[in-house]
A and B are shown apart, each in its own frame.
Chain A
Amino acid sequence: MTDQAPSAAVPLLQVRDIEKTFPGVKALSGVSFEVRAGEVHALLGENGAGKSTLIKIVSGVYRPDSGAILVDGRERHFATPDDAKRAGVATIYQELLLFPELTVAENIFLGHAPRGRIGRIDWAAMRAKAEELLASLEIDDLAADMIVGSLSVGNRQRVEILRALSHDARILIMDEPTAALTESDVTRLFDIVRRLKARGVGIVYISHRLDEIFAIADRVTVLRDGAYVGAREVADTNASELVQMMVGRRIENLFPKTDVPIGPPILEARDVVRRPMTKSVSLTVRAGEIVGLAGLVGSGRSEFAQTIFGVTPAESGEIRLLGTAVKIESPESARAKGIAYVPEDRGVQGLVRAMSVLHNFSLAALNGLSHWGFIDRGAERRMAERGVERFSVRTSSVDEVAGRLSGGNQQKIVLGKWLANNPKLLILDEPTRGIDVGAKAEIHRLMGELAAAGVAILMISSELPEVLGMSDRVLVMREGRLVAEFDRAHATSEAVGAAMMGGDGQVEKAA
């Protein structure tokens, strides 16, 4: 299923048909991947695509359910992260694992400092080796004695890279390395990456920033929903093909939205700001309308939604509901005004997994179900049973613990709990991520019904076909701002994809 020409040399690292399942979630299904010496191989995919699970398996943190890991052509089993390190695999995570109280040299050699005769740490040798490493990458603005706590993020990252090298890493995995870097840091990082390439180190570069991939990578592999989609030589592909591979899906039974009369504006946001992610957003959602909000990871869509919902209230700007200016200071306030938010992270933000289906269904509507604070249990049970029926939630009874249900059914509960309040504005954050086809179709059908009933729907989604199929209008966010708006007729995957990435879709390779 690979698309590249067979190479003569044995790849440094190969994974074949890796499968990994966690309770309730199939994280990886039959993923294969390889890195050659001196190559930068990018790993591309949306959240939940399986990139970090794959990386953790290669680093020895998880063990695969099946499949093989080969280093230099020989099969290896990594029981612990140390095994992987010994095999020459080093990983640089997004959360840098450095200790700010210690120096550069101490951080580099943490856990494997050179020792003197009686087993005490040989400080001089450690400093000397650290200087050597710094010199080998021609880093002249860092010294071995500097306290890491005083360094910028970019510099700390370089210390992490040096630490990996101090383990004689031959395969270096970098997880979203540029997420927190300034432009000059990125340039310096690429410089180091090129030097490492020249040394024969194989680099796995995880990123969702397509311009960087085109600047630094030789090959790119795309994962989606835990499966391998394809691999390309960077020179032979372009941005929109990659975007298609990342977010496109086989056309399933999506219920295209039927045309309903669009009513007055329900939500009007003007220049809403909430640091650090929401720089300035203005948009309108009308009754009966489904507005799709597209954008890449990190574009600030969820953050904006949570500002409208009152979790992180707006710092400035104006929000109007049904024409009246309002201040939304808390989720309680938002709910009282008729706003509902179905969050992105189902397990942590949406459901209380330890509670029953019954209790989850009523969680957002308790006020309506109680008299003088006392919950009407009969009404609560009736509501839950109605909800189970209406949303076709597959469960043995409403007393079943919610955490045992499948992802799709859990999502329906979260949706149902908010619909019990008859909201005027429904914000859906990745409503069909990680759920089966059937449940997906049901949720789409439901959205259509709600729109027909006059609810204003703002749908955040990373699935382009879903966005294109369901939305009356498509808005695109990038880096905390709204950068494009398309009506149904003009929204195509090329246009939207281009707006998501920025520029005009043409990406230049750096010299």
Chain B
Amino acid sequence: MKPVRRMPRWLARHETLLAAILAIALIVLGAFAQVFLTPDNLLNQGRLMTEIGLIALPMTFIIITGGIDLSVGAIVGLCAIMLGYSWNTFGFPLPLAILFALGVGALAGFMNGLIITRLKVPPLIMTIATLALYRGLAEGVSQAHSVRGYPDWFYVLGQGSVFGVPTQLLILIILIVVAGVALDRTTFGRTLYAIGANETAARFSALPVDRTKLIIYTLSGLASGLAAFVLVSRVTTTRMDMGMGYELDVIAAVVLGGTSIFGGSGTIWGTVIGLVMIQLLKNGLALTGVKGDATIVVIGVALILSVLIASSLQRRRE
């Protein structure tokens, strides 16, 4: 018999439900605001959601293992600062500065992972502490100075398009596919699910638990660094308060997409749906005249509600 690609049945159901809700929301919003369904607007939304989207990919991995990373927003800020600072003050050539910033991000994530696995500090506590530290470092290094005046080619990533598709969105899509395939089809992905479902059994099954955790936290830092690069390129300046509040959007996207906050289940495709829904929410609110700050109220509500619903569904299933 030819092997059929299978997903656990209930998970497939959750995602189709989400996709259906998404489709309905799109139609409703399109009917309500004419400007919404134009390709221009949709592509622009795609551009705007990339930063969160990039970080949401490794965050999905992390939450599947039952962990969490609250320091992502702070790492974005730190990398943004390091990019501007190393270029402006150290005099690095810009490409080097970009690589440096990415390196800082990866290092920041690596530190998280190292202490979580070696010293067994719970991820929640560790990343709250590094949230404070990394944000503080961003402030200290920048001394609240902004950096501007990047060369034109620098903005291609954040503001340019390739065949009509925003550059960063293209990158995001590629990474989504990579992450999704990795999670679904590789030993790495299987290890993540095992760790989340029963870490002890995963260890006893000779899976590389610590190494895997180290990788995902480092990836989280790296993704935050990449998001910083995209962000700076998009808004043309570097500021120390960049990335503030990102952790909310990222975690909300992952959880909304069906990943259980307790670990053991979730998919990249679900996260993508969650991501789109959040962006949709923001766009819809903006189109109805709600100011930017108020959207976080809705995101907060969405986060709590989705965890509540997921949790009660889980309990009913047991």
Question: A349 contacts B204, CB within 8 Å?
Answer: yes
B residues adjacent to A (C-beta < 8 A): 3, 5-6, 8, 185-188, 190-191, 193-194, 197-198, 200-208, 264
A157-180 contact mask (Cβ, 8 Å, vs B): 1 or 0: 000000000000000000000000
Tell me if B5 and A350 are in contact (CB < 8 A).
no
Q: Quick one: which of B186, B190, B198 contacts A348, CB cutoff 8 A?
A: B198
Give chain B residues whose Cβ lies under 8 Å from the Cβ of A367.
187
Q: How far is the CA of A331 from the CA of B190 in the complex (A)?
A: 17
Q: Given the complex of chains A and B, what is the CA–CA distance between A432 and B6 in angstroms?
A: 33
A352 CB contact (under 8 Å) in B6, B188, B198: B198
Against B, the Cβ 8 Å flags (1 = close, 0 = not) of A310-351 are: 010000000000000000001110110000010100001111
A378 to B201, CA, bound (A): 24
Name the residue on B nearest A340 (C-beta). Answer: B206
Say which one of A223-231, A368-376, A444-452 lies at the interface with B: A368-376
Asked whether A378 and B204 contact (CB < 8 A) given A352-B194, A352-B198, A355-B194, the answer is no
Specify which chain A residues have a CB less than 8 angstroms from the CB of B191 in the assembled complex: 366
Asked if B200 contacts A375 (CB within 8 A), the reply is: no
The 8 closest A-B pairs by CB, nearest first: A331-B206, A335-B206, A366-B187, A363-B205, A352-B198, A354-B197, A378-B3, A373-B186
Q: Contacts A363-B207, A377-B5: A370 and B201 contacting too (C-beta < 8 A)?
A: no
Cβ of A399 to closest chain B Cβ, rounded Å: 7
* A433 CB–B CB distance under 8 Å: no
Residues of A within 8 A of B3 (CB): 377-378, 381
Q: Closest CB-CB distance, B205 to chain A, in whole Å?
A: 4
Residue contact B201 to A350, C-beta cutoff 8 Å: yes
Q: Are B187 and A349 in contact (CB under 8 A)?
A: no
Contact of A351 among B187, B201, B203, B206 (CB under 8 A): B201
A353 smallest CB distance to B (angstroms): 7
Most buried by A among B190, B201, B202: B201
Minimal beta-carbon separation of A231 from chain B (angstroms)? 38
| A364 contact set on B, CB distance < 8 A | 205-207
Distance (whole angstroms) from the CB of A185 to the closest CB of chain B: 31
Assembled-state Cα–Cα distance A349/B194 (Å): 12
Residue interface mask A463-481, B partner, CB < 8 A = 1? 0000000000000000000
Whole-angstrom CA separation of A362 from B194 in the bound complex: 12
CB distance from A48 to the nearest CB of B (A): 19
Smallest distance from the beta carbon of A333 to chain B beta carbons, Å?
8
* A355 and B193 within 8 A (CB): yes
Determine whether A417 belongs to the interface, using a CB cutoff of 8 Å to chain B: yes
B residues near A351, Cβ cutoff 8 Å: 198, 201
Q: What are 24 residue pairs bridging A and B, where the CB atoms are less than 8 Å apart in the complex?
A: A331-B204, A335-B206, A349-B200, A349-B204, A351-B201, A352-B198, A352-B201, A352-B202, A354-B197, A356-B8, A362-B190, A363-B194, A363-B207, A366-B187, A366-B190, A366-B191, A366-B207, A367-B187, A370-B186, A373-B187, A374-B186, A377-B5, A378-B3, A381-B3
Question: Quick one: given A366-B187, A367-B187, are A348 and B197 in contact (CB under 8 Å)?
Answer: no
What residues of A have a CB within 8 angstroms of the CB of B187 in the complex?
A: 366-367, 370, 373, 375
Contacts of B198 in A (CB 8 A): 348, 351-354
